[in-house]
Structure 1
Amino acid sequence: MKRCAIYTRLSKDADGTETATARQEADARAFAAAKGWTVAEVFKDVDLSAYRKVTRPGYESMLTALASRQVDGVLVWKLDRLVRSPAEFERFWAICETHDATLASVNEPVDTSNELGLVIVRILVAFARLESATMSLRLRSVKAASAKAGRPKHGGPRAFGLTDGWTDIVPHEADMIVDAAARVLAGESIRSIVLDWNRQSLTTSTGRPWSAQTLRNLLLQRRLCGQREHRGEIVADGVWPAILDVDTCDRLRTVLTDPARTVPHAGRTFLLSGILRCHNCDSRMRGSIATNGRRRYACPPKPEGCNGTVILADPTDQLLADMVCDALDSPDLASALGRPDDDGDDHAARIRVLIGRLDDLAGMWANGGISRREWMTARTSIDQQLEQARAAAAATTRNRQAAPWVGRGMQLRARWDDGLDLEFQRAAVGAVIDRAVIRAAVKGRNRFDADRIVVEWRA
């Protein structure tokens, strides 16, 4: 080899210390000098894996240099810096064979000039892959053990609301979380909170603007109430300070995972998208603009819906807005919401107790304490209780969302006509209306008929 290319890659050694590309390059240059080789070019990749299928720009440029005969071979600090996949090595070696290039390693006795040497190289690559797979397994095991022990998560961006290491609360960020939780539970949309925060130039822990998905993911994290979740299950109480109480976290999860909150993107400019239901197939109707320019709600086409129900949007919006404002000033609604379930705050605790019973039951079956038939019978009963408890928690949460609007129907109507933000309008409607079923048209699609609308109230 007269002209060699040095390839370096930043990674973690087995003992956890960093092998910097500069050190790899220095060792490789000394090795090349001892051999009398000229270093034609140095290619490097920083913080990129050779185990997972990721594109490495430096590696690809090195292959291009080999294919164009700009270099006679490649020198690496160690083979696992180059590849950790047998398939990728074969791709690399095919290029070397085609263009009479060679491979050398500073720390391994690599000789690719004969078949025995190539067999040894392939064995080393296979062991490098095994080492990567073993390391990945160890890391997953460590993370699972950390989760079960309730220890903080390490690595990645700083957790919003907590300092590095999760030792203390960041006051202004914790205040934002508390504010967002209260607003969501009062019926406000994630999107309106995000718009408000971004107008104030409030940012995430990485300094980026907020998005609806980022805020939603944050509010669903169990760490906010000092708990640790692993694979969807609460596995331990944490050792870091809590920002919210457990009940608030449970209520947030109930609200944010409610399927009724999911509104098709195209329907977000319509008040009742997702609230109106087709009488024929029960699909959620979407807002759209007809060819004549009129706004309407329509059942989606198959397979989501039957595409057979349509109603004019503007008069429907106005009718339901009036009904909502009237209902909020109604003594009946005030009475219904004024006596929310006295045990509402206990629903979340009961859910946790029932989940604990399921875990205990599974443990008894696993240890041979009960038969599979006994386990299934008991589990069916607990599942039914769990479903009832979750339904009661959801009902209580919805009542709490509606409560702030009660008695403010006239004020709301005045603000409505004065251009109240659509997100607040949707929050007000959703607080008291579960859904509205649109019956089949009798007078024709282009004529509004209020009798087609059947409202189902939340309380």
Structure 2
Amino acid sequence: MKQTYTPKKAILLVRISDDKAEEARGVGRQEVDGRKKAAELGWTIAEVITENDTSAFKRRRVLLPDGSTALRTVRPGFRDALDKLASGLRDGLIADDLDRVARDPRDLEDLIDVVEQRNVPAIATTGSMKLDDDAGVTMARIMCSIANKSSRDTRRRVARTHLQLAEEGKPGGGGFRGYGYSRSGMEVIPEEAEAIRFMAERILDPVEPWALNRIAADLERRGVPTATGAKWSGRSVRSIVTKPSVAGLRAHKGEVVGEAVWSPILDRDVWEQVCAALAERAGTNDVSLKRWLTGALRCGLSGDMLAGWQGNHGPRYWCATPQGGCGRIAIQADRAEREVSAQVLDLLTKPRVLERLTALTTTSVTQDVRRELAEDEAQLKQLAGMWARKELTFAEYREARAIIETRVKESRALVHASAPRALRTLLAGDVRKGWEGLTPAGKRDVVLTLLPNGYTVGPHDRSKGNTFDPGRLKPRAA
């Protein structure tokens, strides 16, 4: 199929997969080279179709015309080019390289169909795409398959690299800068960290918790900038303050996998309270902290704390080597949590245990501490207002805040040690129903109240195969 004419209204297709900086330099270079090649051939470029920051490999589930769904590349620019070539509105296609046009064999076949049916030329400036005869079509199919394999290999290696970085607690890199931290993800930005602490304080305000939209409006009013320059919204506040990274935790695919190498902005217990409070407002369980036995399980060999981890074999608790553990003890997370839940409910249905816990939740000492905690938290709120009104210098505000925050932290620790709010809620109604309704953070608080020293996880007896052995979980003595 040899072409017998020179295109007078050709399409120049330029594409680059990744342009997060939105500088369009890659497609700009392709356009320069494409116009140069068109001039050499005598082609007239009537239209440039740009696919900037668009993958020719990644597929998404889309709705097809017949109502079914399937995985397809999403490339409106490429589809627009095919439509115009098929309709005769355009009479040729030029691109930088075959892999700029197609990395998915289905896309290439659609282009081949149009070229053969309409007898329009399609070439690449590098000479990698010639669809004017059977040999060229066959070679294009081979090269597209190779490019597709290359993309799959890259995806696999990148996924493995991200998992390794997560296991080591290191930043993943790429994407937009996370609010509160520098682009490297390692250095805390003081002004933004202060804004995050403000968000947490307002959400946890014991007297009048603020709505997320109110927090956003206050940040807008005070001229506090976002990381991207966009306006604050309730959604952006929630996104920032519930990210595990602000508590010094590393997440991978939605799971907290361990401690991060960067410094936290919020104490972990404060972050968990924020997540729980927002989950309760939404009427859903806390999905930010899924591995609620973190902090309650210790390695039976090294004595180190086990951490919730997402590995190749699914979620587990592991004596993580990136955190200095021995790496030899791990236990299935879901099965361990079900077993501990069963043991907790068994304890909470025993009359003697209930009597002791009820007395613990009503102790006068605990009530006094709670009252002092509420007073200190109210004072923090008042202090923030004085600083906002410029009645205090920043140095005075920081010094006073540090003193009060120390008292708050001590009070919260004492209240937690005596009887957490989750336990008081649990004892006030149906224990089994109440347990299912607790947030993950609340469940952990109850476990540590009943068993302050948590559990020791022993080695797996390989003679029992891969079955879960509840006997590996043993309550630790005081």
Question: TM-score if structure 1 supplies the norm length?
Answer: 0.57
Within the candidate set 129, 137, 141, 2:148 is matched to: 129
Within the candidate set 362, 374, 380, 1:404 is matched to: 374
Query: 1: CA distance between counterparts of 2:124 and 2:170?
Result: 41
Within the candidate set 18, 38, 48, 1:42 is matched to: 48
Q: Which amino acid in structure 2 is aligned with residue 350 of structure 1?
A: A
Query: 2: CA distance between counterparts of 1:234 and 1:385?
Result: 25
- Residue 239 of structure 1 deviates from its aligned partner by 2.6
Superimposed CA distance per residue, residues 169-226 of structure 1 (whole angstroms, 9 cap, x where no aligned partner) = 2222111111221222234144332343334343421122222232222222221122
2:91 counterpart of 1:72: yes
- Contact 2:317-2:331 within 8 A present in 1 as well: no
Query: 1: CA distance between counterparts of 2:137 and 2:27?
Result: 26
2:282 counterpart of 1:262: yes
Q: Give the 5 Å matches for 1:200-219.
A: 200-219=222-241
The verdict on how the C-alpha distance between 1:123 and 1:177 changes in structure 2, with shifts beyond 3 A counting, is same
Partner of 1:2: 6
The verdict on how the C-alpha distance between 1:73 and 1:199 changes in structure 2, with shifts beyond 3 A counting, is same
The verdict on how the C-alpha distance between 1:75 and 1:232 changes in structure 2, with shifts beyond 3 A counting, is closer
Superimposed CA distance per residue, residues 36-94 of structure 1 (whole angstroms, 9 cap, x where no aligned partner) = 44444433222112223565454344334323434432122111111221222222232
Query: 2: CA distance between counterparts of 1:62 and 1:99?
Result: 13
2:171 counterpart of 1:152: yes
Q: Whose RCO is larger (CA < 8 A, sep 6+)?
A: 1
Within the candidate set 173, 178, 183, 1:164 is matched to: 183
Structure exhibiting the larger radius of gyration computed from Cα positions: 1
Partner of 2:106: 87
* Segment of structure 1 superposing worse, 205-214 or 354-363: 354-363
The verdict on how the C-alpha distance between 1:213 and 1:351 changes in structure 2, with shifts beyond 3 A counting, is farther
Query: 2: CA distance between counterparts of 1:242 and 1:64?
Result: 52
2:203 counterpart of 1:245: no
Q: Which amino acid in structure 2 is aligned with residue 82 of structure 1?
A: V
2:143 counterpart of 1:185: no
Unaligned runs of 5+ in 1: 265-346, 409-430, 438-459
Query: 2: CA distance between counterparts of 1:387 and 1:195?
Result: 44
Aligned length: 317
Q: Which amino acid in structure 2 is aligned with residue 262 of structure 1?
A: A
Q: Give the 5 Å matches for 1:438-449.
A: none
Partner of 1:299: none
Unaligned runs of 5+ in 2: 60-72, 285-292, 299-304, 310-315, 322-326, 348-356, 379-420, 430-478
CA RMSD in angstroms comes to 4.6
Superimposed CA distance per residue, residues 14-47 of structure 1 (whole angstroms, 9 cap, x where no aligned partner) = xxxx972233233333433444444444332221
The verdict on how the C-alpha distance between 1:27 and 1:401 changes in structure 2, with shifts beyond 3 A counting, is farther
- Contact 1:351-1:386 within 8 A present in 2 as well: no
DSSP 3-state at the match of 2:202: helix
Query: 1: CA distance between counterparts of 2:236 and 2:58?
Result: 26
- Contact 1:77-1:106 within 8 A present in 2 as well: yes
Query: 2: CA distance between counterparts of 1:157 and 1:22?
Result: 23
DSSP 3-state at the match of 2:31: helix
- Residue 368 of structure 1 deviates from its aligned partner by 11
Query: 2: CA distance between counterparts of 1:388 and 1:204?
Result: 49
- Contact 1:11-1:19 within 8 A present in 2 as well: no
Query: 2: CA distance between counterparts of 1:368 and 1:153?
Result: 26
Within the candidate set 32, 44, 48, 2:38 is matched to: 32
